[in-house]
């Protein structure tokens, strides 16, 4: 319906320059990943690794998947989906992280005691 269809149709072909540039950037970032892994950054380990991986994923989406030339709605769809996945994972992991005492530590199988020690509501 939009007047921009002819510029943004699925047939967009990106130049070899872009493809090669993206490929090289991905290679460099891979080296960075490996390089960073050599140092112990303590609690920063995970954020740094995710940052680099996120940058790589964005490059793939922008150039290889043509999102850069696509209608903004497609970017919105992608970002929206990622937002919901992240939301689901963060809240769920946050919660199961708090429940970790309830399982798998062998010596305190009494769930009710554990719950009480955490001052959680006990319902049976």
Buried b (16+ CB within 10 A) or exposed e, 85-104: eeeeeeeeeeeeeeeeeeee
Q: Work out which of 3, 17, 46, 84 binds other proteins, going by CB under 8 A.
A: 84
91 in helix, strand or coil?
Answer: helix
Angle at 59 between CA 58 and CA 62, to 5 degrees: 80
- 85-114: which residues touch other proteins (CB under 8 A)? 87-88, 91-92, 94-96, 98-99, 102-104
Q: How far is the CB of 63 from other proteins (least distance, A)?
A: 25
Residues lying near other proteins in the complex (CB under 8 A) are found at 1, 80-81, 84, 87-88, 91-92, 94-96, 98-99, 102-104, 115, 119-121, 123
């Amino acid at each position: 319906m939009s007047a921009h269809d002819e510029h943004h149709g699925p047939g967009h072909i990106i130049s070899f320059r872009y493809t090669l540039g993206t490929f090289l950037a991905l290679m460099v970032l891979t080296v960075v990943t490996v390089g960073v892994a050599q140092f112990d950054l303590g609690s920063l380990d995970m954020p740094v690794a995710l940052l680099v991986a996120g940058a790589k994923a964005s490059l793939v989406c922008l150039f290889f998947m043509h999102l850069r030339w696509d209608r903004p709605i497609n970017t919105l769809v992608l970002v929206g989906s990622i937002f919901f996945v992240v939301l689901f994972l963060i809240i769920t992991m946050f919660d199961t992280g708090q429940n970790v005492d309830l399982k798998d530590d062998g010596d305190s199988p009494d769930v009710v005691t554990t719950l009480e020690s955490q001052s959680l509501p006990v319902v049976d």
